[in-house]
Structure 1
């Protein structure tokens, strides 16, 4: 049996990049073997708040985070902001700068360290296009945020 990759950020990025059911299944099986929680989705908007809301909604609906526990929501929020800073090159703004984004995202929650005392971590990977709100006037971008819970 192959050893499952415990790099939580790499798992989130690879899951985001995955674009076939077979590839999704392979990645998901590995994360399930580790007992990790995960989910992926898509969002497109000129509004930063809508992107954050889409990622948070998926995390809550799939039980990746408990919305009633502040530290879980706080960790998720910071992972999202860190990932979006990568996508927006540090300027976490879209519509006000006449930019729009079409993004795929993945959320992974797990225990990436051998020492159980290190606890749980959450990773958010975001990949897609960003640019002027005109088709063909965008480029690829990626961001990754990792935070402890």
Structure 2
């Protein structure tokens, strides 16, 4: 069972849901995080934006395949939440405007369980016509 203070998914969701200047006060020990934004009609650009942010903020080592692979699966799981199970955007004329958060930490008391990574997405999805979008969110968590 994940420790109360190390719920990396909850922390990622709070970061993604927060506004730019909202203080997120969490007692997170040995946790790394970053936030960013992406707007696109291409799901590949969502993956690229999150992967770039995670690498440049030191959340994953881009030279270690298992770290990149774990992040990739967490991203895809989060995108499926936003898109209701379909990874396609441009092919069906949908666009997203998302705030994302990536959190890396050890959510279990047993240190042998190692680090996990959580990706949270929150924003809008809809037709590429201003005012035709609605809110959506997604969360993906994977072990590293």
TM-score calculated relative to the size of structure 2: 0.94
Per-residue CA deviations over 1:5-63 (Å, capped at 9, x if unaligned) read 21111010011111153524x24xx33xx011110000000011111100000000001
RMSD, aligned CA: 1.4
> What is the rounded CA distance, in whole Å, between the counterparts of 1:107 and 1:134 in structure 2?
29
> What is the rounded CA distance, in whole Å, between the counterparts of 1:89 and 1:62 in structure 2?
29
What's 1:147 paired with?
142
> What is the rounded CA distance, in whole Å, between the counterparts of 1:14 and 1:76 in structure 2?
19
> What is the rounded CA distance, in whole Å, between the counterparts of 2:86 and 2:20 in structure 1?
32
What's 2:127 paired with?
132
Decide whether aligned partners of structure 1 residues 86 and 5 sit closer, same or farther in structure 2, where only a CA change above 3 A counts.
Answer: same
- Residues 1:40 and 2:25 are matched in the alignment: no
Q: Residue 118 of structure 1: CA displacement?
A: 1.0
1:109 to 100, 104, 119: 104
Unaligned runs of 5+ in 2: none
After the TM superposition, which parts of structure 1 deviate over 2 Å for at least 4 consecutive aligned residues? none
1:78 to 53, 58, 73: 73
Aligned pair count reads 142
> What is the rounded CA distance, in whole Å, between the counterparts of 1:22 and 1:129 in structure 2?
19
Q: Residue 4 of structure 1: CA displacement?
A: 7.0
- Residues 1:49 and 2:49 are matched in the alignment: no
What's 1:123 paired with?
118
> What is the rounded CA distance, in whole Å, between the counterparts of 2:138 and 2:20 in structure 1?
21
2:64 to 66, 69, 88: 69
> What is the rounded CA distance, in whole Å, between the counterparts of 1:21 and 1:50 in structure 2?
25
> What is the rounded CA distance, in whole Å, between the counterparts of 2:22 and 2:122 in structure 1?
20
Q: Is the 8 A contact 1:44 1:102 kept in 2?
A: yes
TM-score calculated relative to the size of structure 1: 0.91
Unaligned runs of 5+ in 1: none
